[in-house]
Structure 1
Amino acid sequence: MAKCECLQTCIFFNDRMANMPAMAGMMKKKYCQSDNSGCARYMVLKAKGRGAVPGDLSPSQVDKARDIIG
């Protein structure tokens, strides 16, 4: 499966995870380089737009994403 189209500009990975490359790599493999439909950030982006995605939203915070989406 293709990489997530948001990977290059994802604030979470490019800013928040910059000092944790091993953890970031594991998360990218799970959420960005396979089926990104399980990524909380991607869910909010697709439903509400880039501006609605909190900078600190972790890809695993699906419940929080659902709350944001409504």
Structure 2
Amino acid sequence: MRKIFSVVFIALITIALVYPRIHYTGMGGLSFAFALNFLLMACVLVFTEKPAKCSFQNFIENNPYF
């Protein structure tokens, strides 16, 4: 259930971010293509990244300087 929610949520956020880009800048030109490419790559990165276990204890255990 969590995976389905995550996929749907990321897709909705992507659509919500692309719509203003199309509406305000238009679809012609290099700036639109560059911004859209960056935006879609960022959304794919969020989709494919695994959540990291971020805790201070984990940092201390895996850090060779402590």
TM-score under structure 1 length normalisation? 0.30
The structure that has the greater radius of gyration is 2
- Report the TM-score, using the length of structure 2 for normalisation: 0.31
Richer in helix (by share): 2
